[in-house]
């Protein structure tokens, strides 16, 4: 499914319309314009967050010895702003860090949390120390969920979101839009099902307001100790749908599988690149003597895997998402359960168009054919550039 051309989803804000100019990052920081200047007073982070939002950037980096930088369409661009000094980043972390996290930051030298600025936006923040000084990275996130149809995602994503039970995984590298996709799925559930949704997030990024559904959003280290304990507790909260922000360890994976097997619909994420690797990663959380049983449990619970990568658009208006989609059919379940057949999953996806399945390379061919991405950019993100080249030649897109 090709991302819609009239609107370009940005990684954490409103939709940028095709043809809408993006301001020059050297002119929008709202701070002194000399990039070589050193400020005499500690700087607030708010002007830089405003610049991040106005530039449709995804991330803001604040580090001593460098001016702030904004990631725009994958490139890390310098803002025209004074070079940051230690008092600047110390003041920034004091400005944004919640009181309950200050002791943890002093002890561990890192902290994850969410931060909102009225009229500007909501951000996921990681504060850390580098070479003895404070640094911060802000990820821009949507204040509210973007509907799936506005994201230009295939209809099968909506079908997976409305499964009554089982496990759906959204995977991909950091910054590939997993949170945005999951929020769109929760939004669809919220608008169509009278259910209780429990989300467990670290931190809460996108806020949901109750509609047909009742949504209880819990933040790790604020509302609960960790993912695994929150997932166990969720089973006593009369949930219909459970969203686990990330499956990071064996205990969380086990609890998610048990929830899915006992009639709940569970969604979560992994930092894996494709469907086949996702299956392997889940199995590898467990010791060898448990893996056969875990394969059987996963084969019975899994409803689908959605893998994402972002690709530069040919028109220069940001990036679009390339997706690999695996929907659990009888043959897919058999391949998950049998280690010797797991390698067949890619082939089964290639043959599964009827069910809404596609491999990354199949989607990339479609994006190239429709002029959404260039051949070079498609090859740059392909799982197997040689195989993609062969397919592009077969359909007449490469001589």
At 95 the pLDDT is 96
How far, in Å, CA of 200 to CA of 230, rounded? Answer: 7
Under CATH, which architecture does the 148-358 domain have?
Answer: 3-Layer(aba) Sandwich (3.40)
Cβ-based neighbour number of residue 347 at 10 Å = 12
Q: Parallel, antiparallel, or unpaired: how do β-strands 241-244 and 214-219 relate?
A: unpaired
Print burial letters for 312-325: b (CB count within 10 Å at least 16), e (below 16): bbbeebbbbbbbbb
Taking the mean position of all CA atoms in its chain, how far away is CA 4? Answer: 19
Name the stretches of the chain with pLDDT < 50.
1-23, 25-26, 28-30, 32, 35-36, 38
At 166 the pLDDT is 98
Backbone angles phi, psi at 168, to 5 degrees: -125, 130
Pick the CATH number of 7-141 from 2.60.120.1600, 3.30.450.90, 1.50.10.20, 3.40.50.2300: 3.30.450.90
Residues for the chain: how many in total? 399
How far, in Å, CA of 234 to CA of 229, rounded? Answer: 9
Q: Over the stretch 345-378, which tens digit does the pLDDT of each residue have? A: 999 999 999 999 999 999 999 999 999 999 999 9
Domains of the chain, by residue range, sit at 7-141, 148-358
Q: Over the stretch 301-352, which tens digit does the pLDDT of each residue have? A: 999 999 999 999 999 888 999 999 999 999 999 999 999 999 999 999 999 9
Structure tokens at 84: 């940051």
Q: Which residues pair with 302 in a beta bridge?
A: 167
Among residues 47, 314, 281, 48, which one has the least CA distance to residue 172? Answer: 281
CB 266 within 8 A of CB 303: no
CB 187 within 8 A of CB 143: no
At 221 the pLDDT is 87
% of the chain with per-residue pLDDT over 90: 83
At 26 the pLDDT is 46
CB 243 within 8 A of CB 268: yes
Long-range contacts: 193-198, Cβ < 8 Å, 24+? Answer: 193/162, 193/240, 193/241, 195/240, 195/241, 196/237, 196/238, 196/239, 196/240, 196/241, 197/239, 197/240, 197/241, 197/242, 197/243, 198/234, 198/237, 198/239, 198/241, 198/242, 198/243
């Amino acid at each position: 499914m090709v991302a819609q051309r009239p609107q370009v989803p940005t990684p954490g804000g409103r939709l940028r319309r095709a043809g809408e100019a993006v301001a020059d990052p050297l002119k929008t920081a709202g701070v002194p314009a000399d990039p070589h200047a050193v400020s005499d007073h500690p700087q607030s982070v708010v002007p830089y967050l405003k610049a991040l939002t106005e530039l449709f950037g995804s991330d803001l980096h604040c580090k001593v010895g460098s001016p702030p930088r904004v990631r725009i369409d994958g490139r890390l661009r310098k803002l025209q702003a004074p070079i940051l000094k230690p008092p600047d980043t110390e003041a920034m972390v004091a400005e944004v860090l919640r009181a309950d996290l200050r002791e943890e930051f002093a002890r561990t030298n890192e902290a994850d949390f969410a931060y909102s600025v009225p009229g500007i936006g909501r951000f996921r923040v990681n504060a850390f120390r580098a070479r003895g000084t404070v640094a911060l990275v802000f990820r821009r996130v949507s204040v509210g969920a973007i509907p799936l149809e506005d994201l230009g995602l295939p209809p099968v994503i909506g079908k997976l979101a409305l499964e009554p039970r089982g496990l759906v995984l959204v995977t991909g590298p950091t910054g590939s839009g997993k949170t945005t996709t999951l929020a769109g799925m929760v939004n669809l559930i919220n608008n169509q099902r009278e259910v209780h949704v429990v989300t467990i997030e670290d931190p809460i990024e996108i806020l949901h307001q109750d509609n047909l559904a009742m949504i209880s959003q819990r933040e790790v280290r604020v509302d609960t100790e960790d993912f695994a304990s929150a997932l166990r507790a969720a089973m006593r909260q009369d949930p219909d749908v459970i969203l686990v922000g990330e499956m990071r360890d064996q205990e969380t994976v086990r609890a998610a599988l048990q929830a899915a097997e006992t009639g709940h619909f569970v969604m979560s994420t992994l930092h894996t690149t494709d469907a086949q690797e996702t299956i392997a990663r889940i199995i590898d959380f467990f010791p060898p003597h448990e893996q056969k049983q875990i394969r059987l449990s996963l084969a019975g619970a899994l409803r689908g895997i959605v893998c994402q990568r972002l690709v530069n658009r040919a028109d220069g208006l940001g990036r679009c998402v390339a997706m690999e989609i695996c929907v659990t059919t009888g043959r897919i379940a058999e391949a998950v359960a049998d280690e010797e057949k797991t390698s067949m999953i890619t082939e089964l996806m290639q043959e599964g168009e009827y069910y809404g399945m596609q491999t990354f390379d199949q989607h990339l061919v479609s994006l190239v054919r429709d002029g959404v991405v260039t051949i070079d950019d498609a090859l740059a993100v392909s799982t197997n550039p040689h195989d993609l080249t062969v397919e592009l030649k077969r359909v007449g897109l490469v001589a």
